Structure 1
Amino acid sequence: MNRGDPAPARRAALRSSRAFRWAVGVGAAMIVALGIVLLFLLTQATNNRELYERNYGRLFALNVVVAGILLLVITWMGLRLLGRLRNGKFGSRLLVKLAAIFGLVGIVPGLLIYVVSYQFVSRSIETWFDVKVEGALDAGLSLGRATLDALANDLSNKTRAGAQQLADLPDAAVPLALERLREQMSAADLIVWSANGQLIASAGQSRFQLAPERPSPQLVRNARAQRSVAVIEGLDEAAATGGNTARIKAVAVVAQPGLGLVSEPRILQATQALPASLVANAIAVQEANREYQERALGREGLRRMYIGTLTLSLFLAVLGAVLLAVLLGNQLARPLLLLAAGVREVAAGDLSPKPALQGKDELGGLTRSFAEMTQQLADARAAVDKSMVQVNAARANLQTILDNLTAGVIVLDPQGHIQTTNPGATRILRAPVAAFEGQLLSQVPGLEHFGQAVQRQFDEYMNDRRQHGLDHWQESFELAIGQGSATAEVVTLVARGAEMPGESRLLVFDDISEIVSAQRAQAWGEVARRLAHEIKNPLTPIQLSAERLEMKLSAKVGEGDRAVLTKSVRTIVDQVDAMKRLVNEFRDYARLPAAELKPLDLNALVADVLQLYVREGLEDGHAAMRMALDPQAPAIMGDAQQLRQVIHNLLQNAQDATEGCALREVMVRTRFNPQSRRVRLVVEDSGPGFPEHILKRAFEPYVTTKAKGTGLGLAVVKKIADEHAARVDLKNRAGDDGLVQGAQVSLSFAVAA
């Protein structure tokens, strides 16, 4: 288990808080129950003089103790709430507000009832012992009867009005109407009887009786005669038993809907219980004379007893209301606070398991639903994180593949804007393509024509795909890198394009310049071999035939013709010799032996070859030879004989290039790159450089700027470089002013292991 996981601590705190609340709730319930029992005993004592005289003091003291305990509990809970509020604990304001609302709901009505009851009790007791009490008792009896009559008449009128409301209703609609009518009349029970005494519908307590009491025939006759009649029943039984069985029964005739001759009126019977206070007052008035003398002796004590009981009752009720307010407020606030805390944690990104209440109410179900939702969110986030890890891994793998591809990859939108590239594109195009993302490919400097050609190919492909169902296009391009500058280089690209999902376009291309050059070199080698074979064979017979003609005819012609013959034969022989030399050079190019690679000190080889040219330069006035050799350059793998031929060819070409120049200088350099572990040989001259059309095909046989050259020098250099797995580069050197300052040829060799 993770030691930093807050879930176990939260669950432990929840269990502790739950146990504490249970203890407080049980204790409060016991105290309230004890207070109610004591209050009940106290009220019983006030109705029994002897019991009152014997036990009132002890009961009152016990109630005061219970009230004190309740007050202490309420004070402690109030201080605890204030402490939570002062400490800024989450949810304390809501808990205080709920407790205050419930407390006010219990206290305000209680105080109002107490004030009214206090005034009523005080003044009532004083009036009990007035000189006119006896007359008042008689008047009270009359008033009681008048009140009962008024209640009976009122119920009779209400019953008659209710019967009118039921007159137009069929029997099926009567039950629902009775419920509404019972609420309007404040009646305890309503029954509709048929004319023959059958029960049609009922509302109130009669619904739970198997055989409700029917109205007497006399009462029904009176009702038919007077439209409605009311009687008071059970008053004598209430006086005898002390219960509240007194009630008012009213009967009214309900007209049957329709105009049928056989329809009979229905009977509406309403029953309303007499108020307990009214019945009690009526009985009290009857008992007043008997108890008047007895109560007169304890007049002041009786007043204190009633007021004290009322006060203590109010105190217990208020304390109980406040305690219940705190408990109920806490009960209602707990799920809300739990949900609020959970929402705050989820908003902060914490999706750990959330506590839930086990109650069966809606709030408990809401907390459980929230906990389940949080768990589902956690599972979903875990799944998303796992998917994102897989996506990122796949993206990293794809990016690694793209970064290590030798081919260039560019993703374009339908308008030709660059969306993404790989390092291969920058390497092949010799341009920072990644820096132009979001721009058109044709806006990259040096790639204007390439970008326009690619866009045309994509447009044609989209049209042809709709017609012929093509899935890609492929085309080769010759791209002038650095076009317009002195160091321009021409590369041959083969490009392939296709449409990606989302309408993006994929462009994949590769540099096939070396492949094209190798194919051309192979083709020239085959041409040279065939030329050497086809041309060399007839040269010797031609030369011999010419010499034989001179020998045969020289004695037979005149002096002038002999000179012409000798000159002509010499011309034929010289030209045949020149053709033989040309054929031999082609043969040597075609039959160049395989290189025998051995560890070789390139610096020593360059210095050895260069000594010959330095002597020649001093004697014949050739171009000045300079060298700058890297002393850190290690040995390379090479064939000394072939590399000597390479150096000779390059130096000879450099010398020839400086003819007619004011500054005739050739520089030979070696340079070691520790990062790539390669040694570079560079030959530079101060000549006019290579024309642009020569740069494109400089390594092809028979491509030369010399009037007498064969064009095989650089072709041989390229072929020997390929045998040594060396990269050969050819470019013009540009000065600070952008003008050409000469040509540069360089070869890069691998270091010997």
Structure 2
Amino acid sequence: MTRSARWAWVVSAIAVTGACVVLALLLSIGATSERDFFQRNYVWLYRVTLALAVLLVLVIAIAALRLALRLRQGKFGSRLLLKLAGIFALVGVVPGVLIYTVSYQFVNRSIESWFDQQLAGALTAGLSLGTDTLDALKTDLGLKTRSAAERLSDIGSLPQTLALERVRDQLAARSVSLIGGNGQVLFSVGESSSALAPDRPDASLLRLARGPKGWTSKVEDLDVETPASVGHARIRALALLPSSNFSLGASDRYLMVVQGLPSTLATNALAVAAANSEYQKRALGREGLREFYLGTLTLVLILAVFGALLLAVTLGNQLARPLLLLADGVRQVAQGDLTAKPVLASRDELGGLTRSFADMTQQLADARGLVEKSVVQLERARTNLQTILDNLTAGVIVFDAQGLIDTVNPGATRILRLPLSAYRGRRLDEVPHLEAFARGVWQRFETQEDSPEAGERGHWQESFELQMDASQDVLTLLVRGAALPQSARLMVFDDISEVVSAQRSAAWSEVARRLAHEIKNPLTPIQLSAERLQHKLEAKLEGTDQAMLVRSVSTIVNQVQAMKQLVNEFRDYARLPAARLVQLDLNELVAEVLQLYVSAQEAGRLHAELDSDPPHIVGDATQLRQVIHNLVQNALDAVSEREHGHVLVRTQKALNENGELRGLRLLVTDNGPGFADKVLKRAFEPYVTTKSKGTGLGLAVVKKIADEHGARIRLVNLHKQGDEAEPVIGAQVSLSFSKLATAPSPADAPSDEHRPA
């Protein structure tokens, strides 16, 4: 507990104690009759209470000022403190004010009810009734005493004692006495007769008895001041005894009768008299009594209210402190601060709550550390995975649970030649030219989920032929699909078009080898047999028969020669010798081959643009001459039917983005009709040609030689302004050599045996 909190508790305890003391004093005074004590000490009690009130007001003002400063400075939790203080103040003040209002009205009305006219009249009537009753008793006893005195004067011969005893019995008196003129008791019967000092009447009674009435009576020993004398209350009656003796020296005599007053009547009379006396006293001090009660009640209220306010501020601070501690900690946690949080030292639930919050924050800090470490590892793994995906030659597409494209790697964009990254969040069938492919893939996914084939364990594999559009190649894709967690799907695919082409080439190589072996052997006997027939029969036949024989044999020989040429080409394709790689000058090879096409050059249908300083390449001169010859011949064949057809042969350096040399290109360009769309992708396969008399082995041999030299060959159609939507204006075949030699050597120069015949 802080020092300010301890002072607040001390002052609150003093205030509450003062209020309790004043209230106890009020209750004790209300329950007793010691009002003089309170009236004597009311001033200093009021001053002490007022001093306590001033002290409480000062403390409350200081607390309110501190709270206002916190609120103005915008310190965290000031609004909560204000709210708690207001709530506790309302809880303490409102019931106090309500009780004060009710008590004020109650006291005011009670005091007024004490002094209403009906009660005063009742007390007066009761007092009058008691007085009249006593007067009636006195009068009755006085008249009876006078009558008894007259009878005693007539009976002079009876003894005095007997006469008095008879009067006592008749009047049911306590005692009856015969009194002399000076008040001495002459004779007495009853209680006073046995007394050592007989009860003598005072002179006033004797004087009244000598009056005109001749008798008097008086109530004795009935005093409000001494209520204990009720049992001794009595009525004394005194009557002058008539005398028949007219002598001058004779003295008066009196008959005195003492009769007891009934105790019930005496008690009631005293009670009425006492109540009336008290009522008269209080009626005289009614305003002072009201001020006394209301002032005391107000002082108690002030102490209670100020004590409640101070306790409200104190309790508000005590309750708000752990709450503010928690709130500040929550705010720091919300801002990402998970450092160690302070803990309240108390052992109550709020202290336990702060400790639990501190433990929770520490756990969150530990968990965040683990999460950050995991995120770093995950990000590192994701980066590695993304790097792997980016460098994969295969295409990778990940679909989410709704079948939408989620992840696409560059390999997929490169293989399909479509901007797949722009279609993330969309379905695959929404990508142009992939509708049929998407249907096939999803049908395969559904088939694998519903009824997987034998050997499939969460994945499938199938090949698809994809026709991008009417002007592009047919792609052969090997697609593998797999199910991922949370209903996601993975599709990995490769472009196996070249693999299929290579398989076809291998198949044609095997076919060519078998054909060369099976067909070449019978061709020579057939040709020889036909020539022998012509030699034996040509002289024996005449006319049309001889002409028919000559034509038939010529046809057989020509067809056999054609079949021999076909078989030789198949043999050359199947049994192409291994390349002997040496340093070569590509410009010299091109010039040597173009010497075979002098007529075409002179006709302006063939041109050459050779690089001025090309690097030397590494290759086989014989095979490369065959390549150049095939490419030039194919280009001249493509423009043979065009009036202004021309072929351009070029050599040029291949440079990278930094201007560094990375290879040498050979380009053969023509302005012919170009390649058919269906031929572009399969142009290098055997028996694929657009010529009516071609075997389709020329470009296949070129592709095989290019592969032996590690060169890259490419066929494209040329369009106006480079726009594929424009008509075709020619074709171009490029052969790129990446194996370069540093400098040519004489030993590496082509020999005569490698020169074309």
Aligned to 1:647: 628
1:83 equivalent to 2:69? Answer yes
Query: Are the equivalent residues in 1 in contact too, given 2:400–2:488 (CA < 8 A)?
Result: yes
Instruction: Find the partner of 1:719 among 681, 704, 713.
Output: 704
Amino acid at match of 1:729: R
Q: What SS is found at the alignment partner of 1:488?
A: coil
Instruction: Provide closer, same or farther for how the CA distance between residues 27 and 311 of structure 1 changes in structure 2, counting only shifts above 3 A.
Output: closer
Counterpart position of 2:691: 706
1:480 and 2:467 matched? yes
Cα distance, 1:110 vs structure 2: 8.0
The answer to whether the 8 Å contact 1:500/1:506 transfers is yes
Change over 3 Å in CA distance of 1:327–1:619 after alignment to 2 = closer
Cα gap change, 1:438/1:104 in structure 2, threshold over 3 Å: closer, same or farther? closer
CA displacement, residues 536-593 of structure 1 (integer Å, 9 cap, x when unaligned): 5555666677777888889999999999988887777666655554444333333323
* Aligned CA distance change for structure 1 residues 563 and 340 (closer, same or farther; 3 Å): closer
Q: 1:565-580 maps to which residues of 2 (within 5 A)? A: 579-580=563-564
Match status 1:740 vs 2:720: no
Name the stretch that deviates more: 376-385 or 512-521.
376-385
| Cα distance in 1, alignment partners of residues 400 and 54 from structure 2 | 84
* Distance in structure 2 (CA, Å) of the matches to 1:472 and 1:521: 31
The answer to whether the 8 Å contact 2:623/2:705 transfers is: yes
Superposition pairs of residues 225-304 of structure 1, within 5 angstroms: none
Provide the secondary structure at the position in 2 that maps to 1:706.
coil
Distance 1:334 1:429, change over 3 A: same
Q: Read off the aligned partner of 1:423 and give its amino acid letter.
A: P
Within 2, Cα distance between the matches of 1:413 and 1:41? 85
The answer for the alignment partner of 2:9 in structure 1 is 25
Determine the C-alpha separation between the residues in 2 that align with 1:452 and 1:337. 62
Question: Residues 379 and 302 from structure 1, CA distance in 2 versus in 1: closer, same or farther, beyond 3 angstroms?
Answer: same
Q: Tell me, yes or no, if structure 1 residue 528 matches structure 2 residue 505.
A: no
Letter in 2 for 1:616: Y
Provide the rounded CA distance (Å) in 1 between the counterparts of 2:504 and 2:526: 32
Query: Structure 2: which 5+ residue stretches go unaligned?
Result: 128-271, 279-285, 742-757
Q: CA deviation at 1:321?
A: 3.6
How many positions carry a matched residue from both structures?
A: 583
2:86 counterpart residue number: 97
In the alignment, the residues of structure 1 paired with residue 638 and residue 522 of structure 2 have an alpha-carbon distance, to the nearest angstrom, of 35
Between the aligned partners of 2:33 and 2:20, the Cα distance in structure 1 is 17
Aligned to 2:569: 585
1:516 counterpart = 2:500:
yes
What one-letter code is carried by the residue in structure 2 that aligns with 1:714? L
Percent identity, aligned pairs only, is 55
Alignment deviations for residues 366-410 of structure 1 (CA, whole Å, 9 cap, x no partner): 555555555566666666655555555555444444333322234
Which residue matches 2:171? none
Which residue of the other structure, out of 74, 77, 91, is the alignment partner of 2:60?
74
Q: Is the 8 A contact 1:609 1:644 kept in 2?
A: yes
- Secondary structure at the counterpart of residue 91 of structure 1: helix
Matched, 1:665 2:646: yes
Distance in 2 between the 1:493 and 1:549 partners? 57
**C-alpha displacement at 1:90, in angstroms?**
3.4
CA contact (8 A) 2:710 2:739 kept: no
Partner SS for 2:464 = strand
Q: Which moved more, 1:511-520 or 1:465-474?
A: 465-474
Contact 1:629 1:671 (C-alpha < 8 Å) held by counterparts = no
Structure 2 equivalent of residue 424 of structure 1: 411
* Per-residue deviation, 1:51: 11
* 2:433 alignment partner, SS class: coil
Match of 1:489 in 2: 473
- How many Å apart are 1:721 and its aligned residue? 1.8
Whether contact under 8 Å (1:633, 1:672) holds in the other structure is: no
Residue number in structure 1 paired with 2:160: none
Cα deviation for residue 714 of structure 1 reads 0.5
Cα displacement string for residues 93-129 of structure 1 (whole angstroms, at most 9, x for unaligned residues): 30441353155247636865996799899999x9xxx
Give the Å deviation of 1:653.
0.8
Q: What is the Cα deviation at residue 305 of structure 1? A: 10
SS for the counterpart of 2:69 is: helix
Of the candidates 466, 491, 503, which is equivalent to residue 507 of structure 1? 491
**What is the match of residue 656 of structure 1?**
637
Counterparts of residues 302-321 of structure 1 (less than 5 Å): 316-321=303-308
1:160-559 aligned at under 5 Å gives the runs: 316-342=303-329, 344-345=331-332, 354-368=341-355, 392-411=379-398, 418=405, 420-437=407-424, 441-458=428-445, 460-461=447-448, 464-465=451-452, 472-481=459-468, 487-537=471-521
Counterpart code for 1:725: G
TM-score of the two chains, using structure 2 as the length reference: 0.59
Give TM-score scaled by structure 1 length: 0.59
CA distance in 2 between partners of 1:460 and 1:302 (Å): 105
Which of residues 686, 691, 697 in structure 1 aligns to 2:676? 691
Give the Cα–Cα distance (whole angstroms) in 1 for the partners of residues 628 and 501 of structure 2: 21
- How far, CA to CA, are the matches of 1:117 and 1:569 in structure 2? 153
Residues 659, 338 of structure 1: alpha-carbon distance in 2 compared, 3 angstrom cutoff: same
- Residues of 2 paired with 1:26 and 1:696: CA distance? 100
d(CA) in 1 for partners of 2:728, 2:636: 17
Question: Residues 30 and 734 of structure 1: is their aligned pair in 2 closer, same or farther, counting only changes over 3 Å?
Answer: same
Change (3 A) 1:662 1:438: farther
Distance 1:655 1:392 in 2: 59
